[in-house]
Amino acid sequence: MRLGRIHGKLRFLGNRMKALTVVPQPPPDDGRVHFGCWVRLEDDDSGEEHLYRIVGPDETDVELGWISAESPMARALLGRELDDGIVVRRPKGDLNATIVEIRVVAPA
């Protein structure tokens, strides 16, 4: 039984490897949010700031702030510019935020 689960996981990972695309360079530094960017948002209601990085769905890590490019948050951010406002629809209520920083390299 356990060997069957391991074999199934290996087959799944093998298929994922075939579908992955390696991004060879950092995103363009043109002032817009792209895949791979770090984005700092300020919550319009609370004033709190949050830092996110837009990554592939297999790379997400909540503790690091790495969000999937397929998530509602990332979809609201992609293509936006500094000082743009975004609205993200959430079950606990809409998030209204402003982009206060866009980085193509990791913040220090």
pLDDT digits (tens, 9 = 90+) for 62-108: 999 999 999 999 999 999 999 999 999 988 899 999 999 999 988 87
Q: Which residue has the higher pLDDT, 80 or 16?
A: 80
Residue 56 DSSP one-character state: -
Domains, the chain = 27-103 (3.10.50.30)
Beta bridge pairs of residue 41 = 50, 99
Q: Which residue has the higher pLDDT, 37 or 15?
A: 37
Query: Both tokens of residue 35?
Result: 């895949």
Q: What percentage of the chain has pLDDT greater than the value 90?
A: 61
Cα–Cα separations (whole angstroms), residue 64 to 34, 87, 101: 18, 22, 17
pLDDT digits (tens, 9 = 90+) for 21-61: 776 777 888 999 999 999 999 999 999 999 999 999 888 99
pLDDT band at 20; cut points 50, 70, 90: low
The Cα 48–Cα 12 span in angstroms is 39
The pTM assigned to this predicted structure is: 0.78
The Cα 94–Cα 68 span in angstroms is 19
The Cα 25–Cα 1 span in angstroms is 42
| 57 in Cβ contact with 69 (< 8 Å) | yes
